Homo-oligomer: A and B are copies of this chain.
């Protein structure tokens, strides 16, 4: 496995692969990898000759009061995990090389970003869209793999690839969970034992709502209430939103649910912000 930090070396190395007509898959990450990331890499492994993982904590997707400085990092461990997942090339650039100056040109998705997580994280998805576009241009992958855990991000990036005519197939990886249901996230490491125990309310609420949906409950407000009740039972939970939206355009869905939908949750436990979601297919 190769580790590349320099943008020019990356381009040269990938040009060589392309000359040999090898297909490329990209799995963008912010590092501090967990089984969720590794599942994406193994998925990528099945769809391309060369699997590239980027490890880059992108400053432009963090707000001024967010956890950029504190975001967990462990490159040596990450490299071992990438190797174990069959990654061929890790791209780990320096922020000064990715942004040699304040960015003048940005990619954004105003309507899709102006809801759910975007409301409490202004500029976040513009940062995500911009850095992913840059990575797409640097790597020029045939395939890119993103996790369903970041549901809004996935919807926006699928729109990005489609609307900007990028010749890239987007694959989605299912959310990987702890044994008690908590969705894997690099930010879970922030949780103290009490918060960690209570955080399972998110997935328990989502599973309960899905069960009720499969049992025939079709009123969005009733389904949302099931999740809210699970969160409200936890003294440390500070729910940010529980919403039921169309899976395609993220707009709120009204009764009865007649299109693929998603219940999406953001909830803080202390300073730790967790998100999760579940799909409902009528």
Write the residues of chain A forming the contact surface with B, with a CB cutoff of 8 angstroms. 7, 11, 101, 103-112, 129-130, 133-134, 137-138, 140, 156, 159-160, 163-167, 249
Contacts of A167 in B (CB 8 A): 11, 137, 140
The answer to whether A164 touches B111 (Cβ under 8 A) is no
Per the bound structure, the CA–CA distance linking A165 and B56 in Å amounts to: 16
Q: A137-B166, A164-B137, A165-B138 are in contact. Are A105 and B108 (CB under 8 A)?
A: yes
The answer to whether A106 touches B103 (Cβ under 8 A) is no
- A116 → B minimal CB distance (Å): 15
The answer to whether A134 touches B165 (Cβ under 8 A) is yes
Closest to A107 in B: B107
| Chain copies in complex | 2
Closest to A18 in B: B18
Closest to A156 in B: B105
Per the bound structure, the CA–CA distance linking A110 and B103 in Å amounts to: 10
Closest to A21 in B: B19
Per the bound structure, the CA–CA distance linking A222 and B98 in Å amounts to: 41
Closest to A103 in B: B163
> What are 30 residue pairs bridging A and B, where the CB atoms are less than 8 Å apart in the complex?
A7-B165, A101-B163, A103-B163, A104-B111, A104-B112, A104-B156, A104-B163, A105-B107, A105-B108, A105-B109, A105-B129, A105-B156, A105-B159, A105-B160, A105-B164, A106-B107, A106-B108, A106-B109, A106-B110, A107-B107, A107-B164, A130-B164, A133-B164, A134-B163, A134-B164, A137-B164, A137-B165, A137-B167, A138-B165, A140-B167
Closest to A129 in B: B105
- A59 → B minimal CB distance (Å): 14
- A162 → B minimal CB distance (Å): 8
Per the bound structure, the CA–CA distance linking A249 and B102 in Å amounts to: 12
Closest to A157 in B: B105
